[in-house]
C-alpha cells in the first residue's frame, strides 16, 4: 500500500514543493539451497519468510529567484522499519527467527544557478550532505538471546561546480567544464564493536566539447580524477587505493535525417564499490547452513565501454556494446562443507557483450499499410501498438566456459472505448546462460503484467487497476559456478491492486508551470540475484 501527497506553490519571489507519504508492504519469500550429486539433490537449507516493510518519507524543496539567478534548497528524510519472520530447516536443524532492520536517511542539497543573457550559457554550484544510519538484529522467536546485532553509519559530503557555454566555430557547439570534491566516511559495527572504518576522498575535474558540422555531431572530453581510499577492520589495515586517473570519452553521430541517426561512442570510467558491499557484517539472514557477509577488501572497477547504435523515430533502435572491466564487483555464492556463504568479490577481468533491438509495431500497419502509417503524426499515448524488445548478453570470463542469454520483452497498448487504456507487459529471459558466476536453470523474470487505466474530471483523476505476474511464473533457479549448489527462490510476485492519482485544481498559473524541484532517488544496483 503506497500513499503520497505532493503540494506545490509559487509566486514571483519564491516557490516550494512538499512530497510526503508512506509505503507498507507484506510479502513472502520461499528459498531453498540444495547440493547436487550422483543424480540426487540433498537439502542444505529451506526457508519460508514473511516480511513486513514500512517506509515513511518527506521530500521538500524551496526555491528563491535572486534577480535572474535561482537558489534551490532541498531536504529529504526517509525512515525504514522492516520486520521478517523466517522458518528454516535443514539436516539436523530447525529454526524460527525474527529480524528487525531500521534505517534513517537524511539528504540536504544547496544549489545556486547563475543565469546569463544567453540562456545556453550556464553556471551551477551544488553542495550535498547525506547521512545514513542502519541497524539490524536477528534473534530466535521467543528468546531474548540475540544472534546478530549489526549497525552502520555513513556521512557523505559532495561539492561541485558546472559551467557550459556555446562556442562559435561550429553549429550548436558547446564547451562544458566542471570540478568535484567528495568525501565519504563509513563505519560498521557488530554487537557494538566497530569492525570497519572506511574513508574515501575523490577530487575530479572534467572538460567536454560538443560540435556539429552539417549532418555530423561530435563529443570529445576527458575527466581527471584523484582517489584516496583508506580503511581498517578490527584485525587488519585495508589495502589503500591512492591513484590519479584520466578517463576520456568520445562520440560521433551521423544524422541521416531528423529522425534517423547512427552513433558510435567510447568512454572509460570507474565505479567504486558500494558501502553495502563493503560491510563485513551480516544484515540479511543466518542459519547453521547459510551465512551472508560483505567484503571490505573490494577494489574499484575500471571500465572501457564501446557502443554502436542505429536509431529511428526515437523508438526503434539496434545496438551493440561491449564493456571491458577490470576488478568487476560481483555477488558470489560458495560452499564450505555444508555452509553456503554469500559474499562479494572482484573478478580480475570480464567482458560483457550486449546486443539489443527494439521496434514499435503500430496495429494500424495491418489495416492502413506502411505508407499511410508513416504519414500519420500520432501521439504514442493514444496509439494502439506492440513494442518488441530483444537483447542478447554474453559474459566473457577468462578460464570460464560461459554461455550467453536472450532477454525478451513485449509491451502492447490498446486504447479501448471510453478512452480506457489497456497495457500488457511480458518479460522472459531464456535459461542456461551465465550471469557472471551463476547459471540460470529456469527462465528469469518470467512475468505477465496487466494494467487498465482511465482519466476522469478533465484528466484531474487517474484510476489504474493492475494485475502483476498474472500467471505466477516469476521465480529464480541458479547453479553457482564451481559448486554443486542449486539456488532456488520464489517471491509472492502475483498481486492485484489499484491506484488513484488526483491533481488538485489551481488557478495559480505559476504553480502550474513550476517543474519538479524534488531530488530523485539514488538506488544501488545489486544485481539480479538478491532475494
pLDDT greater than 90 at residue 22: yes
Q: Cα 315 from chain centroid? A: 22
Work out the pLDDT band at 371, boundaries 50, 70, 90. confident
- What's the rounded Cα separation, in Å, for the pair 89 and 87? 7
Residues 6+ apart with CB under 8 A from 336: none
Q: Report the predicted TM-score, pTM, of the whole model to 2 decimal places.
A: 0.89
pLDDT greater than 80 at residue 510: no
- What's the rounded Cα separation, in Å, for the pair 355 and 393? 7
Residue 120 vs residue 394, higher pLDDT:
394
Work out the pLDDT band at 18, boundaries 50, 70, 90. very high
Residues 6+ apart with CB under 8 A from 315: 358, 359, 360, 380, 387
Q: Are 274 and 298 in contact (CB under 8 A)?
A: no
Q: What is the dihedral of CA 336, 337, 340, 343, to 10 degrees?
A: 0
Name the grid cell of 202.
575523490
Nearest one of 486, 399, 390 to 438, comparing CA atoms: 486
pLDDT greater than 80 at residue 394: yes
Q: Which of 158-167, 291-300, 519-528 has the lowest mean pLDDT?
A: 519-528
Strands 385-396 and 434-435: unpaired
Q: What is the pLDDT of residue 512?
A: 52
Q: Which of 33-47, 93-107, 162-176 has the lowest mean pLDDT?
A: 162-176
Q: What is the pLDDT of residue 253?
A: 96
Nearest one of 175, 179, 176 to 204, comparing CA atoms: 179
Q: Does domain 2-513 have CATH number 3.40.50.1860?
A: no
pLDDT in tens, 189-232: 999 999 999 999 999 999 999 999 889 999 999 999 999 999 99
Other beta carbons within 10 angstroms of residue 294's beta carbon come to: 23
Nearest one of 487, 497, 496 to 528, comparing CA atoms: 487
Nearest one of 436, 439, 449, 450 to 479, comparing CA atoms: 439
pLDDT greater than 70 at residue 523: no
Residue ranges covered by each domain of the chain: 2-513
pLDDT greater than 50 at residue 525: no
According to DSSP, the residues that pair with 259 across neighbouring strands are none
Work out the pLDDT band at 526, boundaries 50, 70, 90. very low
Other beta carbons within 10 angstroms of residue 310's beta carbon come to: 16
pLDDT in tens, 310-332: 998 778 999 999 999 999 999 99
Amino acid at each position: 500500500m503506497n500513499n503520497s501527497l505532493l503540494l506545490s506553490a509559487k509566486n514571483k519571489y519564491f516557490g516550494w514543493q512538499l512530497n510526503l507519504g508512506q509505503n507498507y508492504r507484506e510479502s513472502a519469500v520461499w528459498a531453498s539451497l540444495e547440493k547436487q550429486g550422483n543424480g540426487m539433490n540433498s537439502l542444505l537449507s529451506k526457508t519460508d519468510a514473511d516480511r513486513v516493510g514500512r517506509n515513511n518519507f518527506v521530500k521538500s524543496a524551496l526555491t528563491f529567484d535572486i534577480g535572474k539567478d535561482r537558489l534551490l534548497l532541498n531536504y529529504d528524510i526517509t525512515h525504514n522499519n522492516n520486520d521478517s519472520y523466517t522458518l528454516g530447516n535443514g539436516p539436523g536443524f530447525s529454526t524460527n527467527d525474527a529480524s528487525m532492520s531500521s534505517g534513517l536517511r537524511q539528504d540536504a542539497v544547496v544549489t545556486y544557478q547563475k543565469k546569463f543573457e544567453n540562456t545556453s550559457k550556464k553556471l551551477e554550484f551544488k553542495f550535498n550532505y547525506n547521512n545514513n544510519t542502519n541497524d539490524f538484529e536477528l534473534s530466535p522467536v521467543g528468546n531474548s538471546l540475540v544472534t546478530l546485532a549489526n549497525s552502520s553509519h555513513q556521512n557523505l559530503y559532495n561539492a561541485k561546480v558546472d559551467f557550459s557555454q556555446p562556442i562559435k566555430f561550429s553549429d550548436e557547439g558547446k564547451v562544458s567544464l566542471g570540478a568535484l570534491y567528495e568525501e565519504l566516511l563509513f563505519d560498521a559495527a557488530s554487537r557494538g564493536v566497530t569492525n570497519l572504518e572506511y574513508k574515501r576522498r575523490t577530487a575530479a575535474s572534467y572538460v567536454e566539447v560538443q560540435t556539429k558540422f552539417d549532418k555530423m555531431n561530435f563529443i570529445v572530453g576527458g575527466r581527471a580524477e584523484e582517489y584516496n581510499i583508506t580503511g581498517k577492520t578490527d584485525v587488519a589495515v585495508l589495502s589503500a587505493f591512492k591513484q590519479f586517473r584520466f578517463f576520456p570519452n568520445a562520440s560521433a553521430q551521423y544524422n541521416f535525417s531528423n529522425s534517423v541517426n547512427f552513433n558510435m561512442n567510447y568512454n572509460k570510467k570507474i565505479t567504486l564499490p558500494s558501502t553495502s558491499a563493503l560491510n563485513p557484517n551480516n544484515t540479511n539472514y543466518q542459519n547453521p547452513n547459510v551465512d551472508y557477509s560483505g567484503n571490505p577488501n573490494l577494489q574499484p572497477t575500471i571500465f572501457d565501454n564501446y557502443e554502436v547504435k542505429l536509431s529511428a523515430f526515437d523508438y526503434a533502435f539496434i545496438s551493440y556494446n561491449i564493456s571491458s572491466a577490470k576488478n568487476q564487483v560481483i555477488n558470489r555464492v560458495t560452499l564450505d562443507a555444508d555452509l553456503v556463504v554469500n559474499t562479494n568479490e572482484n573478478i580480475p577481468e570480464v567482458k560483457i557483450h550486449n546486443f539489443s533491438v527494439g521496434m514499435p509495431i503500430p496495429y494500424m500497419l495491418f489495416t492502413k499499410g506502411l505508407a499511410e502509417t508513416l504519414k500519420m503524426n500520432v501521439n504514442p499515448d493514444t496509439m494502439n501498438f506492440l513494442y518488441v524488445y530483444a537483447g542478447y548478453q554474453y559474459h566473457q570470463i577468462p578460464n570460464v566456459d560461459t554461455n550467453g542469454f536472450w532477454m525478451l520483452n513485449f509491451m502492447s497498448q490498446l486504447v479501448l472505448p471510453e478512452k480506457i487504456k489497456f497495457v500488457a507487459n511480458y518479460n522472459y529471459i531464456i535459461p542456461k546462460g551465465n550471469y557472471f558466476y551463476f547459471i540460470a536453470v529456469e527462465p528469469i523474470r518470467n512475468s505477465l503484467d496487466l494494467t487498465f487505466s482511465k482519466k476522469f474530471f478533465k484528466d484531474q483523476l487517474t484510476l489504474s487497476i493492475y494485475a502483476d505476474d498474472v500467471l505466477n511464473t516469476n521465480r529464480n533457479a541458479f547453479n553457482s559456478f564451481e559448486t554443486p549448489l542449486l539456488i532456488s527462490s520464489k517471491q509472492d510476485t502475483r498481486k492485484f491492486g489499484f491506484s488513484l492519482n488526483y491533481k488538485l485544481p489551481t488557478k495559480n498559473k505559476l504553480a502550474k508551470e513550476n517543474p519538479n524541484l524534488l531530488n530523485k532517488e539514488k538506488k544501488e544496483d545489486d544485481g539480479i540475484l538478491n532475494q
